Amino acid sequence: MAEVKRSDKKAIGKEYPQVTYMVDIPGVKIREYAEAIGDMNPIYFDEEYAKKAGFDSIIAPPTFAAVFALRPLAFVLQDQDLAIDLATMVHGAQEFEFYRPVKPGDKLTIKPKVADIYEKMSRSGRPMDFIVIEAEVVDEKGEKVLVARSTLICRR
């Protein structure tokens, strides 16, 4: 399999197919997720409590974004132009930049692209390629909800 090299910066800005995700009503998946991570903050499942806290309805825990925002990574991993070898790739970092909370009924569109490619040397002196994937998530009105950034590390 061909290696990703720093010279492959031409892939920066490459966009992938958009993915849509509908957050269920009445928020069963949000509650299940909160229970799974052990965060029983009532803002995630008690409508009245969420309203008293200043929200329109319950909201999702911030890390719930991983449920939908990482889905487009499949397109990147299969991209022949990047030639990522899964045997030598690790998910190195994940960050989320939030503009508003995710809530039940949100119809979200995830717009993934390659944001950056750069090289670093490992401690053993081998080159590693870092591929940063940015996924902008917008609601049905086109308003930005969050941006997810995933950093993939590919050993050479």
Whole-Å CA distances, 59 to 44, 49, 111, 144: 5, 11, 22, 16
Q: What percent of the chain has pLDDT over 90?
A: 82
Which residue is it, tokens 């997720």? 33
Residue 120 included in any domain: yes
CA separation for the pair 72, 134 (Å, rounded): 10
Which residue is it, tokens 């031409």? 10
Instruction: For residue 54, give the amino acid letter.
Output: G
Other Cβ atoms less than 10 A from the Cβ of 28: the count is 11
Q: What is the mean pLDDT of residues 49-77?
A: 94
Residue 66 included in any domain: yes
Give yes or no for residue 7 having a pLDDT over 80.
no
Residue 17 included in any domain: yes
Q: Domain of 93: which CATH number?
A: 3.10.129.10
Give the model's pLDDT for residue 5: 53
156: its two tokens: 């050479």
Residue 51 included in any domain: no
Count of structural domains within the chain: 1
Q: Which residues contact 92 (CB under 8 A, 6 or more apart)?
A: 130, 151, 152, 153
Q: Which domain holds residue 124?
A: 6-24+62-155
Give yes or no for residue 149 having a pLDDT over 60.
yes
Dihedrals phi, psi of 119, to nearest 5 degrees: -120, 145
> What does pLDDT average to over the chain?
92
Give the model's pLDDT for residue 94: 95
Give the model's pLDDT for residue 70: 87
Residue 52 included in any domain: no
Q: pTM to 2 decimals?
A: 0.88
Give the model's pLDDT for residue 8: 64
Give the model's pLDDT for residue 81: 84
Contact 119, 132 (CB under 8 A): no
Residue 104 included in any domain: yes
Instruction: For residue 11, give the amino acid letter.
Output: A
**Residue 1 banded pLDDT, cuts 50, 70, 90:** very low
Give the model's pLDDT for residue 61: 97
Q: What percent of the chain has pLDDT over 70?
A: 95
Residue 54 included in any domain: no
Give yes or no for residue 105 having a pLDDT over 90.
yes
